[in-house]
């Protein structure tokens, strides 16, 4: 078993702490917040606290909200250096043949990753989704395997993907709760909202095939603070939406499945967002990629690695409540051995109130550390012997 070394930093904040775990039981009483949808959920992004839910574990077709997972894997590939923003991605005949929502890619046409992601996030392009899947995994089937593996990694027990697009197929399903977790993970990559938050944009702008994109998520334009994430519609799924909004430092995620019209879908999501911002507030603690410690690495080219936050970290309270006497406990893994890949977990941070852990979040390696060669290890050992002989 891995051993840990820890240190505690005590932060005296303001007044009293509202424990997030108390929210769920309270919100079950408020089952009338939304209506006329098959399922819904409302969560705070940083803590993942459920503020409201209705049939949130019912397995339903997610339609194009499927592309939240597609976009997540694209952002991961960029973050890991496996894909670049300006790389040209070629469209196969298969990708160009996708029906439904599309940006009308032609076989052999090339667009940059940035342009493809714009086509997916704003225009819900099925063709762009498949083109990116083929670039990252080699084929759509292989990419779907990656999607399901990621779902398993996130602990999603009621989600299974059959394609990258959400086009109707038997056995392709998710839930409001699972979709909220996928959205939470996607929003770790703050750059994604630069795409999902656009109301309109153009592709092929300097050609005679200029293509206008208009976001199907109208709340991006009409609800202050909404900057994503993804709509969905098929005859089977009806109107669906996973939306996110930020206000006064708090980001929330609202999901609805199965509204009868797009107007009703938007109205129900608006109710959820209004409720969240009227009732709750967050107290930001750390940003993503903030260094909280140095973990020792054995047999690596470098002896230490920065342990950074893997996501934004906040404490959630009822509106007007303050927090105090919260201890921050950083726990770094001991006996880490190279090689280490950027993003590998190297520790965790715990926020503690009255002896109880109220929030826990992983700390990850800020960069990769390769295994040291024998000559480097020899010089280190020789240096140790020299020091001990003095």
Range of the domain at 268: 39-283
Task: Please provide the DSSP assignment of 38-98 as one string.
Answer: SEEEEEETTT--EEEEESTT--B--GGGGHHHHHHHHHHHHHTTSS-TT-EEEPPHHHHT-
Which residues define the annotated binding site? 230
Q: Which residues contact 386 (CB under 8 A, 6 or more apart)?
A: none
Q: How far apart are CA 360 and CA 47, in angstroms?
A: 9
Catalytic-labelled residue, pool 54, 67, 162, 184: 67
Q: How far apart are CA 282 and CA 247, in angstroms?
A: 10
Instruction: Give the model's pLDDT for residue 345.
Output: 94
Instruction: Give the model's pLDDT for residue 377.
Output: 61
CATH code of the domain covering residue 295: 2.60.410.10
Catalytic-labelled residue, pool 39, 56, 64, 129: 64
Instruction: Give the model's pLDDT for residue 354.
Output: 86
Q: How far apart are CA 45 and CA 244, in angstroms?
A: 9
> Both 269 and 351 in a single domain?
no
Joined together, the tokens standing for residue 118 give 């714009």
Q: How confident is the model at residue 230 (pLDDT cuts 50, 70, 90)?
A: very high
What's the average model confidence in pLDDT over 280-303? 90
> Both 257 and 342 in a single domain?
no
> Both 85 and 200 in a single domain?
yes
Is 101 annotated as catalytic? no
Catalytic-labelled residue, pool 124, 129, 310, 368: 124
pTM (predicted TM-score)? 0.83
What's the average model confidence in pLDDT over 355-364? 92
Domain end among 283, 306, 322: 283
What's the average model confidence in pLDDT over 279-303? 91
Which residues define the annotated binding site for substrate? 230
Is 67 annotated as catalytic? yes
Residue 6 pLDDT exceeds 50: no
304 lies in a domain? yes
pLDDT in tens, 119-133: 999 999 999 999 999
> Both 253 and 187 in a single domain?
yes
Q: How confident is the model at residue 353 (pLDDT cuts 50, 70, 90)?
A: confident
pLDDT in tens, 17-51: 333 444 544 544 455 799 999 999 999 999 999 99
pLDDT in tens, 249-263: 999 999 999 999 999
> Both 173 and 65 in a single domain?
yes
The structural domain count of the chain equals 2
Instruction: Give the model's pLDDT for residue 367.
Output: 92
Sign of CA dihedral 325, 46, 9, 6: positive
> Both 325 and 230 in a single domain?
no
> Both 168 and 191 in a single domain?
yes
Domain end among 283, 316, 339: 283
> Both 302 and 277 in a single domain?
no
Q: Is 353 exposed, middle or buried (0-12, 13-18, 19+ CB in 10 A)?
A: middle
Is 139 annotated as catalytic? no
């Amino acid at each position: 078993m891995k051993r840990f070394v820890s240190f505690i930093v005590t932060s005296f904040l303001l007044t009293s702490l509202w424990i997030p775990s108390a929210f769920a039981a309270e919100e079950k009483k408020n089952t009338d917040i939304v209506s006329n949808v098959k399922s819904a959920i409302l969560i705070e992004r940083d803590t993942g606290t459920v503020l409201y839910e209705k049939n949130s574990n019912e397995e339903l077709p997610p339609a194009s909200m499927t592309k939240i997972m597609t976009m997540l894997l694209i952002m991961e590939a960029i973050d890991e250096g496996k894909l670049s923003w300006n790389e040209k991605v070629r469209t196969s005949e298969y990708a160009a043949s996708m029906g439904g929502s599309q940006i009308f890619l032609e076989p052999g046409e090339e667009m940059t990753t940035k342009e493809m992601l714009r086509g997916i996030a704003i225009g819900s392009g099925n063709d762009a989704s498949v083109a990116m899947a083929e670039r990252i995994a080699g084929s759509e089937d292989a990419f779907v395997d990656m999607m399901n593996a990621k779902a398993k990694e996130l602990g999603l027990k009621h989600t299974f993907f059959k394609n990258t697009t959400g086009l109707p197929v038997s056995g392709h399903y998710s839930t409001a709760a699972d979709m909220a977790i996928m959205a939470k993970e996607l929003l770790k990559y703050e750059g994604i909202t630069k795409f999902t938050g656009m109301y309109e944009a153009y592709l092929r702008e300097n050609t005679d095939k200029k293509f206008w994109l208009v976001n199907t998520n109208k709340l991006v334009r009409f609800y202050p603070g909404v900057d994503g994430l993804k709509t969905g519609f098929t005859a089977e799924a009806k109107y669906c939406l996973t939306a996110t909004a930020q206000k006064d430092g708090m980001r929330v995620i609202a999901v609805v499945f199965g509204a009868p019209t797009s107007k009703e879908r938007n109205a129900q999501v608006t109710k959820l967002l209004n409720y969240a911002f009227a009732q709750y507030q967050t107290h930001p603690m750390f940003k993503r990629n903030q260094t909280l410690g140095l973990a020792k690495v054995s047999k690596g080219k470098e002896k230490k690695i920065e342990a950074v936050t893997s996501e934004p970290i906040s404490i959630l309270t009822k509106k007007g409540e303050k927090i105090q006497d919260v201890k921050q406990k950083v726990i770094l893994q001991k006996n880490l051995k190279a090689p280490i890949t950027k993003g590998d977990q190297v520790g965790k941070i715990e926020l503690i109130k009255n002896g109880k852990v109220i929030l826990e979040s992983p700390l990850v390696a800020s960069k990769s550390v390769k295994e040291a060669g024998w000559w480097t290890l020899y010089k280190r050992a020789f240096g140790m012997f020299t020091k001990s002989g003095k």
